Amino acid sequence: MSPNNIQVTVVVPAYRRTAVLRAAILSLFAQDLPAARYEVIVVDSSPEEDNCRMMEELAPSAPCAFRWFHKKPEGPGPSRNLGAAEARADIIAFMDSDCQAAPGWLRGGLAAFSEGIGIVQGRTLPDPAGKLGVFRHYVRVEAETPIYETANVFYRKQAFMESGGFPADLTPRASAPMGGEDVVVAWSVKRKGWLTRFAPEALVHHEVMPMPVWKWIFIRNFFIWPALVGRFPELRSILYGAYFLDRPQAMFTLGAAATLAAPFFHWALLALWIPYCLVRGLEPSATLRGPLRPVRLPAYLLRDTSTFCLLVAGSIKYRCLVL
Q: What is the pLDDT of residues 36-89, one digit of tens each?
A: 999 999 999 999 999 999 999 999 999 999 999 999 988 899 999 999 999 999
Question: What is the distance between the alpha carbons of residues 108 and 201, in angstroms, rounded to a whole number?
Answer: 5
The answer to whether the Cα torsion of 169, 174, 179, 185 is positive or negative is: positive
Mean pLDDT across 118-138: 92
156 C-beta neighbours (distance < 10 Å), count: 19
Mean pLDDT across 279-302: 73
Quick one: pLDDT at residue 17?
A: 94
CB distance 126 to 38 below 8 Å:
no
Query: Could you read off the pLDDT of 17-37 as tens digits, one per residue?
Result: 999 999 999 999 999 999 999
Quick one: pLDDT at residue 292?
A: 60
Mean pLDDT across 217-231: 95
CB distance 121 to 152 below 8 Å:
yes
Give residue 15's pLDDT band: very low, low, confident or very high (50, 70, 90). Answer: very high
Question: What is the distance between the alpha carbons of residues 164 and 107, in angstroms, rounded to a whole number?
Answer: 27
Average pLDDT score, the chain: 93
Is the pLDDT confidence value at 299 over 90?
no
Q: Give the whole-number percent of the chain exceeding pLDDT 70.
A: 93
CB distance 191 to 118 below 8 Å:
no
Tell me the residue type at 274: I
Cα angle 253, 258, 260 (rounded to 5 degrees) comes to: 100
Classify strands 91-95 and 136-137 as parallel, antiparallel or unpaired: unpaired
